[in-house]
């Protein structure tokens, strides 16, 4: 069984590495920084924009996936890049391109949820990663505990409503700042702050309730 039997031919590129595909260089050497790339792309330079697409596809794809786009993440990200290009004049300075793009990705993902009336749940990987060291006889038990804890955490996240889940995903799983999260979710920074606080409280309550049930049954 394959996790992603679709269109493997499309996945042969090296997104996230702008130098791998003949990236854009400025005169005098060195890769374009975002501000320069945005400025060039705003004047219609498609090479400059392609540089940004290559650099931020991985981040955008991961954001779409974690926000629930599932296997539609490819479509969401492609649409987000096209829309971003069309309104690139609204992106004021280059160093805000990443959060600005992620805001468009988040918005596209929400549109997707509306159109198909569901969002894909977060899915845990099959097992501990190969890179995790197993050093002693106690490690398997510790790994199992950690895996169970992650399962509980994932399940508890799944019970939050979209607003509270999204704010936690943006802040902590995607590691956006409060301001970037505000941009991504289309709300104020104060709202992000209070919503994050509430969401953590709810998550904590759900986790504790789960643990109490376990204790009751033990």
Partner 1 sequence: MPDDDLVRELRELGAHLVTAPAPDLRAAVRERISARSRPVLLSRRWLAAAAVLLVAALIAIVPPTRTAVAEAATAVLRFAGIELDSGPADETLPATPSPLPGVRSTSLDQARRLARFRIAVPARLGEPETVEVADPDATGAPRVVTLLYRNGTIRLDEFDGRFEPYFAKRIAAAGVVFTSVGDEMAAWVPAPHPVSYIDRDGVRREQTARLAGSTLIWQTPGGAYRLEGIATVEEATAIASSTG
**Residue 163 touches partner 1, criterion: CB under 8 A:** no
Interface pattern 166-195 for partner 1 (x via CB under 8 A) = --x---xxxx--------------------
User: According to CB under 8 A, which residues from 51 to 80 bind partner 1?
Assistant: 53-54, 57-58, 60-62, 65-66, 70-75, 77-79
**Residue 208 touches partner 1, criterion: CB under 8 A:** no
**Residue 39 touches partner 1, criterion: CB under 8 A:** no
3-class secondary-structure state, position 144: helix
* Tokens representing residue 99 in the block: 């959060």
Cα torsion 74, 128, 199, 187: sign: negative
Q: How far apart are CA 106 and CA 115, in angstroms?
A: 14
Closest among 25, 103, 26, 31 to 67, alpha carbons compared? 103
Q: How far apart are CA 160 and CA 163, in angstroms?
A: 8
Count Cβ atoms below 10 Å from residue 53 Cβ, excluding itself.
21
Sorted by sequence, the CB contacts under 8 Å of residue 47 that are 6+ apart come out as: 24, 40
User: According to CB under 8 A, which residues from 76 to 135 bind partner 1?
Assistant: 77-79, 81-82, 85-86, 116-118, 120-129, 134
Nearer to partner 1, 189 or 198 (CB): 198
**Residue 143 touches partner 1, criterion: CB under 8 A:** yes
Closest among 73, 48, 56 to 15, alpha carbons compared? 56
**Phi and psi of 178, rounded to 5°?**
-60, -45
Least distance from C-beta 75 to partner 1, angstroms?
Answer: 5
Binding segment (CB under 8 A) for partner 1, from list 24-32, 98-106, 157-165, 187-195 = 157-165
Nearer to partner 1, 154 or 194 (CB): 154
Binding segment (CB under 8 A) for partner 1, from list 27-35, 91-99, 186-194, 206-214 = 206-214
Least distance from C-beta 158 to partner 1, angstroms?
Answer: 4
């Amino acid at each position: 069984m394959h996790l992603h039997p679709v269109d493997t031919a499309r996945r042969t590129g090296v997104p996230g590495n702008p130098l791998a595909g003949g990236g854009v260089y400025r005169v005098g050497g060195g890769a374009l920084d975002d501000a320069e790339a945005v400025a060039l792309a705003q004047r219609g330079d498609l090479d400059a924009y392609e540089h940004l697409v290559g650099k931020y596809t991985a981040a955008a794809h991961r954001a779409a996936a974690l926000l629930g786009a599932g296997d539609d993440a490819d479509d969401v990200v492609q649409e987000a890049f096209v829309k971003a290009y069309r309104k690139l004049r609204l992106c004021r300075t280059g160093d805000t391109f990443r959060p600005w793009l992620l805001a468009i990705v988040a918005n596209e993902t929400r549109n997707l949820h509306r159109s198909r009336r569901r969002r894909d749940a977060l899915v845990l990987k099959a097992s501990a990663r190969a890179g995790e060291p197993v050093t002693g006889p106690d490690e398997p038990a510790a790994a199992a505990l950690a895996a169970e804890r992650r399962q509980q955490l994932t399940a508890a996240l799944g019970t939050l409503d979209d607003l509270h889940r999204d704010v936690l995903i943006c802040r902590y799983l995607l590691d956006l700042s409060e301001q970037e999260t505000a941009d991504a979710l289309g709300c104020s920074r104060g709202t992000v702050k209070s919503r994050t606080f509430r969401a953590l409280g709810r998550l904590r309550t759900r986790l504790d309730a789960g643990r109490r049930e376990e204790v009751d049954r033990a």
